[in-house]
Amino acid sequence: RTVHPFHGEHQAGITTTVQDHLHFAAFDMADDATRDDLIALLQDWSYAAARMTQGLDVSASGAVGGSPHAPPDDTGEALGLPASSLTITIGFGPTLFEKDGVDRFGIAARRPAALTPLPRFLGEDLVPLGTGGDLCVQACADDPQVAVHAVRNLSRIAFGRAALRWSQLGFGRTSKTTTAQATPRNLFGFKDGTANILADDADALRDHVWVGGDDGPDWLAGGSYLVARKIRQKIETWDRVRLLEQERTVGRTKGEGGPLSGGGEFAEPDFAKVSSAGTSAIDARSHVRLAHPEFNGGARILRRGYNYVDGNDTLGTLAAGLFFVSYQRSPEQFIRIQKSLASDLLGEYFVHIGSGVYAVPPGAASGSYVGAGLFA
C-alpha cells in the first residue's frame, strides 16, 4: 500500500523497490503535432501521473464527479483501489528529437549525443511494432489493474497529440532493487537479479545509473537511459535440457543461485577456478561470466525487467519471455554487455523481438513537469 511521490530529484520507478506488475507503453507523436502540443502533453501527463501515483483519479472531477452529460475524465477501473506503489516513468526516444531528418519540435540540437537507435545485435529478430517510439511510459504497480489504468488514461489524455505504438504487460518481477527484497525467478526457473545495482548503493548509482552533470546535455543531468528488450524465451526447448546443462549455461546453481565456483547466492564468482574435471568451474561462455563487469570494462547496469506471457502461438508453444528493462548512465553500457553476450550459451534459448532506447529526464519539481528542462 505504499505511495511513491511523483516529484523529486529523480523520476520514480528506477531505484524504487521493484513492484510486482508492469505495463510498458511506447507512443508516437501525431504527424501534425507541434512543439506546444508536446509541451502540453508532458504537462498533462505529469499532472495526471502525480495524481494517479497518489491513488487519485486523473483529475479533480475524476470518474464520476463531472457532468453526467460528458464522458468522465477518468475511466474508473481503479476506483476504490489504493495507489498500489504505482510509479510512472517517462522517457524520450531518438525519433522525438529528429525523425527522417526533420526536427519536428525544435529540439534536434538538444538531443543527447548518446541517444541514437541501438545497433543491430546477433540473435535479434525485431518486430517493428514492438520497437522504438517517440515517447515511453513505464507504469509499475503491485496491482496490474492500477498499472493498466495508468497507461490507459495517459493514452486517453494523449488523444490527438500522440498515439500508442506498442505496449507490453509484465508480471513477476525479474529483479530486485533493495536488499530487503528476495531475489525473484525468471521463466527459466533461475533467480534473476542477484548481482544487480541496489537503491542504497549511492556510489554505483552515481557511477553507472544517473547521468552526471558533466556528461551532457544539462537538461538530462540526474536522469538516466532506459533500454527495453522484449526477449522471447524458447520455454519448451529449455524445459528439455538436463539440470546440469541448464546450470552450466547460466553459470549458477538453479536452487540457491550460487556461482558454480562455489558458495551461496551472494558469493563472488571465481572465474579462474578449475573444477575436479579439469575444466573451468564457471563455463567461459556462461551468461553470468559474459555479462559480468570483469569482462565488460567494468560496465554495470540496473536491471528492472518482468516476465511476460502473451498466450501461445499457433504451434501451441508459449509466447513468453522476459521483458528486459535496464537503466544506465549511457546506452553504451548496455551495448557493451549485449555485444559480449553474442556467444552466450543462454542465447540458444531466446530471441530478442522488441527493442527501445529512451532518455529518461530527471524528476520534475513540484508544480513542474517531466522534461521541462528540455524546453527551457
Dihedral pair phi/psi, residue 71, rounded to 5° = -65, 140
Is the CB of 181 or the CB of 194 nearer to ligand HEM?
194
Residue 99 C-alpha cell reads as 525523425
- Considering the complex, what minimum distance in angstroms separates the CB of residue 12 from ligand HEM? 23
- Considering the complex, what minimum distance in angstroms separates the CB of residue 252 from ligand HEM? 5
How far is 374 from 133, CA to CA, in rounded Å?
18
Residue 365's CB is within 10 A of a number of other CB atoms, namely: 11
Residue 374's CB is within 10 A of a number of other CB atoms, namely: 22
Q: 198 burial class (0-12, 13-18, 19+ CB within 10 angstroms)? A: middle
Is the CB of 250 or the CB of 374 nearer to ligand HEM?
250
Quote the Cα angle for 312-287-122, to 5°: 65
How far is 168 from 58, CA to CA, in rounded Å?
22
Is the CB of 62 or the CB of 258 nearer to ligand HEM?
258
How far is 275 from 278, CA to CA, in rounded Å?
5
- Considering the complex, what minimum distance in angstroms separates the CB of residue 294 from ligand HEM? 8
Does residue 199 contact residue 208 with C-beta atoms inside 8 Å?
Answer: no
- Considering the complex, what minimum distance in angstroms separates the CB of residue 137 from ligand HEM? 22
How far is 209 from 327, CA to CA, in rounded Å?
6
DSSP β-bridge partners for residue 173: 306
- Considering the complex, what minimum distance in angstroms separates the CB of residue 343 from ligand HEM? 13
Count each helix (H run) and each strand (E run) in the chain, helices first. 9, 9
- Considering the complex, what minimum distance in angstroms separates the CB of residue 209 from ligand HEM? 13
- Considering the complex, what minimum distance in angstroms separates the CB of residue 188 from ligand HEM? 5
- In what helix (H) or strand (E) does residue 50 lie, and over which residues does it extend? helix 35-52
Is the CB of 162 or the CB of 325 nearer to ligand HEM?
325
Of 245, 256, 244, 265, nearest to 349 (Cα)?
245
- Contact residues for ligand HEM (CB under 6 A)? 186, 188, 190-195, 229, 231, 233, 250, 252, 287-288, 291-293, 301, 321-322, 324, 334, 337-338, 341, 350
Is the CB of 295 or the CB of 375 nearer to ligand HEM?
295
Does residue 227 contact residue 118 with C-beta atoms inside 8 Å?
Answer: yes
- Considering the complex, what minimum distance in angstroms separates the CB of residue 221 from ligand HEM? 25
- Considering the complex, what minimum distance in angstroms separates the CB of residue 258 from ligand HEM? 10
Residue 62 C-alpha cell reads as 475524476
Is the CB of 83 or the CB of 231 nearer to ligand HEM?
231
- Considering the complex, what minimum distance in angstroms separates the CB of residue 202 from ligand HEM? 19
How far is 234 from 349, CA to CA, in rounded Å?
5
- In what helix (H) or strand (E) does residue 21 lie, and over which residues does it extend? strand 21-29
Tell me the C-alpha to C-alpha distance, in Å, between residue 353 and each of 73, 189, 321. Answer: 35, 21, 10
Is the CB of 6 or the CB of 24 nearer to ligand HEM?
24
